[in-house]
Structure 1
Amino acid sequence: MTETMDTTRAVVVERDFPYPPEKLWRALTEPHLIAEWLMRNDFSPEAGRRFTLSADWGEVDCEVETVEPNRSLSYRWDTKDLRSIVTWTLAPTATGTSLRMEQRGFTPEQKAYFQGATVGWPRFIAQLGEVVSRLD
């Protein structure tokens, strides 16, 4: 058996939050909340649903891949020549939720995209935490 090496790279950010998974799920799936921490959007948590994220610099074409309420969400994240997948995983802990975000699919030639994601995702997730802290 021959193994094929995956030559793509991934950005992973993991953070623990003092909130239940349901609160984080709301911020990950409700369009008006996503707009507060990430970008303007027409998101709906339905597998196969296409949506767009937009910012002043341009747009990201997306399609929901998987939805497991309060547990896991993944979607395609395609912009210019980048084809990637963003996966959110939520796991309850004794004190709240462990959140893991992975964006995979960066080729070795896509250093600028990889660097942008490496810097950008921790900022987005910090903003996500601020949004969740204000939810009832």
Structure 2
Amino acid sequence: MTRSDTIICEKFLPHPPAAVWKALTDPALHARWWAAGDVAPVVGHRFTLDMGGFGSRPCEVTEVDEQRLLAYRFAEGTLDTTITWELRPEGGGTRLVLTHAGFDLDSPMGRQAYDGMGEGWPHVLGRLDTVLGEVARP
């Protein structure tokens, strides 16, 4: 039996890629829709995301293509997964594709994280959309 260790979520955001990119890479905006942390679009940059009751999660940026792609290792030493944000211009907005890969489905923690994040990511993307709407208002 084949099991996927990857969560993929897509969302159309009625905002230009530059605005979406800023929300993904500006620590103040990032904290408003997901988690506080010193995220920066620089390969090799290490930062920690404050996941509230789930604790702090160390991360390292692995790939950057300005306004197109941001990837980082997430929860190094515990989950050891990779989060990739892909931005695709679409009409007057952006199609955002989130790929969260590398869950160890044979471990209880990996399975619980996969199940929880599989349900949680759509809500996080909804909050991103809300924050982008708030930022865009004059």
Common fold, TM-score beyond 0.5? Answer: yes
Question: Unmatched 5+ residue regions in structure 1?
Answer: 1-5
* Counterpart mapping for 1:57-76 below 5 A: 57=53, 58-76=55-73
- 1:87 match: 84
**Is the contact made by 1:71 and 1:89 (CA closer than 8 Å) also made in structure 2?**
yes
Question: Unmatched 5+ residue regions in structure 2?
Answer: none
Name the CA distance, whole Å, in 2 between partners of 1:119 and 1:85: 17
Equivalences, count: 131
- 2:130 match: 130
Query: Do structure 1's residue 19 and structure 2's residue 27 form an aligned pair?
Result: no
User: How many percent identity over aligned positions?
Assistant: 34
Instruction: Kindly state the Cα deviation for residue 56 of structure 1 after the two structures are TM-superposed.
Output: 2.3
Instruction: Kindly state the Cα deviation for residue 40 of structure 1 after the two structures are TM-superposed.
Output: 1.1
Candidates 47, 50, 54, aligned match of 2:50 = 54
Give the ranges of 4+ consecutive aligned residues of structure 1 lying more than 4 Å apart after TM superposition.
none
Name the CA distance, whole Å, in 2 between partners of 1:53 and 1:71: 22
Amino acid at match of 2:40: S
* Counterpart mapping for 1:89-108 below 5 A: 89-108=86-105
Candidates 28, 31, 34, aligned match of 1:32 = 28
- Alpha-carbon RMSD: 1.6
Which structure shows the bigger proportion of residues in helix conformation?
Answer: 2
| Greater displacement, 13-22 / 75-84 | 75-84
Query: TM-score, normalized by length of structure 1?
Result: 0.90
SS of residue matched to 1:134: helix
Name the CA distance, whole Å, in 2 between partners of 1:35 and 1:67: 20
Question: Could you list the per-position Cα deviations for residues 57-85 of structure 1 after superposition, in whole angstroms to 9, with x for gaps in the alignment?
Answer: 10111000111111000000015621100
**Is the contact made by 1:7 and 1:107 (CA closer than 8 Å) also made in structure 2?**
no
Instruction: Kindly state the Cα deviation for residue 95 of structure 1 after the two structures are TM-superposed.
Output: 3.2
Name the CA distance, whole Å, in 2 between partners of 1:41 and 1:63: 12
**Is the contact made by 1:8 and 1:107 (CA closer than 8 Å) also made in structure 2?**
no
Question: Could you list the per-position Cα deviations for residues 88-134 of structure 1 after superposition, in whole angstroms to 9, with x for gaps in the alignment?
Answer: 00010113111100000012222101011101111111000011112
